[in-house]
Chain A
Amino acid sequence: MIVNQFLVLAALLFSIGIYGVLVRRNAVLVLLSVELMLTAVNINLVAFGAFLQDELLAGQVFALFVIAVAAAEVGIGLAIVVLIFRNRSSANIDELNLLKW
């Protein structure tokens, strides 16, 4: 088995995610981009786990934990976004300019 194409896919997904985080203005879309990055991590982990034929399955176990934690993070993130939306009726992060320097 070769692992390269999985790594390239993961690297691409990760880069798309980073791009989304830097460019997107809506907080929900930034959150989605972060999820994309975490997906890239999962692909990496599972691909490496299969490639290394790790009998402890550490890669897959790690991926499961990443999935669970990512869900928890989405929960927290959406709660914060909804909170902001209620107070300002906008979820654009470049309108968050009360705190600087």
Chain B
Amino acid sequence: MFDYHAIAPELILGVTLIAVVFIDLILSDRYKYLVGVTALVGLTAAAFPLLTLAVCGDLSTCADTGSRVLFGGSYVIDDFALVLKGLFIVVGVITLLLSVGYIESDDYYQGEFYFLVLASITGAVVMASSRDLITMFIGLELVSGPAFLLAGWRKGDTRSNEAALKFFLIGVLSAAILLFGMSLVYGLTGEVTFTGIAAASAALDLANEPAFVLAVVFVLVGFAFKISAVPFHFWAPDTYQGAPTPVAAYLSVGSKTAGFVGLLTLCYQAFGPVREIWGPILWILAVLSMTVGNLVALRQTNIVRLLGYSSIAHAGFILVPFAMAATYDSVGLEDAFFGTVTYILIYAFMNLGAFAAVIAISARVGSGEIDAWGGLGRYSPNLAALVTMFFFALAGIPPLAGWFAKFVMFRAVIGAFSSPWAIVLAAIAAVNAVIALVYYARVVKTVYMDPIPEHADADSPTVVAPSLKLALAITAVAVIVVGFFPQILAFFGDASRALASGM
């Protein structure tokens, strides 16, 4: 009997996808928001099997049966997969909450929007469990395909078109490079499952094989595009700025996290025995992403572009624990893995919250330029407080959640301090954390200290859509609670660390 319980989340999402299409066909324009409600219900329903799988994997005896291996090792539901699937579903719910008001307010297609967001989330959920090259590729394409269309959602707006085309061309280019790398990996190891690749590359001593090094580099470059690491980041700020802001929020969290999930499982599982190949490459990518992302962010005047560069810098921070992998023992590797996963979890809430605040304020002020936000603290104190909180969380100021992300990141590097490269990396990361504070604080300064611009409409009341309020509440609570009680998220990070030692 096939283990349907194990893939129940994916099945529910798949059925919801088709339901969404048909409900969209039936409903008249007035009731299109029901399509969004259906998508939300489907996402929430998909979270329940995750809980039952985590708590009692075997429903008859209600015992946690550990990881489940399906399709000959291609699809594994372990604690790492469950944690990340849960994160993707939460990201999906928040993205839908962000979008409802935004999509309704304009003359956009509505039903298809929810369908595409849901499809992209489904891809991300598939990626979290995929443990072979084919499944991972399908998952990745299912994440990015709908995202290309979402980026170009405002059909009449040439900026949105441009965002979509840039994102699309970079996306397919990176997919082609990734695939070429994957085909070489398959050819040299004769395996597509990650465990098989790891075993074969250790047995054949492929670490010294130039073709295999090339293959790994190609795969890394493909993923570097997806996570927008410098120097493969050019598309990200342009796409974020041109795309509808809720889509930008989704891209900077959902699609980026999916890329990191791929990178994590590939690096730690498939390429575990060849750590000396990818460690130094990711060291360089991490340093470049942090530095370039932060320095360019200093000069931004548009808030979404600023968040775009800040998300590039955060990609660099997330890559930091990868960078010294070649020097770790198995405990150090688990710590590094734990650091990355925990950073991703916290980053998702912080960044979605920041985008939610930006959407609310942009709607209130009528502009995404930072200068127009002057004096917001006087006429809309709640929104100003929220944006301050999320930006300080992103900067890593205690007691907000961001400090813990930075803490685990630095702890992973300090674990490798026998190597001078680790010390250099830690120093660069520390300097970058300070630079980041400058531009986050500048926005806060504008909001509280700058005079209200002349043409600003400071008298009308601040109206925030209820769905957006809910999204703000969820992320705000998460950011504060995790800041005070980081062990909550550390628990999830801990649960997933077993993946790193499995090699």
Contact = CB atoms under 8 A, between A and B. Distances in A.
- A and B in direct contact, judged by CB atoms within 8 A: yes
Interface of A: 3, 7, 10, 14, 17, 21, 27, 30-31, 34, 37-38, 40-41, 44-45, 47-48, 51-52, 54, 58-59, 61-62, 65-66, 69, 72-73, 76-77, 79-81, 83-84, 87-88, 93, 96, 98-101
Contacts of A38: 176, 179
A76 B379 CA distance: 44
Nearest to B184: A44
B70 interface: no
B363 to A, nearest CB: 21
B238 A80 contact: no
A51 to B, nearest CB: 7
Nearest to B218: A14
Contacts of A58: 134, 186, 191-192
Contact of A69 (B137, B155, B165): B137
Interface of B: 133-134, 137-138, 141, 145, 148-149, 152, 155-156, 158-159, 161-166, 168-169, 172-173, 175-177, 179-180, 182-184, 186-187, 190-192, 237-238, 241-242, 296, 299
B71 to A, nearest CB: 11
Contacts, number: 124
A48 B176 contact: no
Contacts of A40: 180
Contacts of A80: 148-149, 152, 161, 164-165, 168
B183 A62 contact: yes
B183 A73 contact: no
A90 to B, nearest CB: 11
Contacts of A76: 145, 148-149, 168
A87 B156 contact: yes
Contact of B162 (A41, A45, A99): A99
A29 to B, nearest CB: 11
B467 to A, nearest CB: 28
A73 B152 contact: no
A30 to B, nearest CB: 6
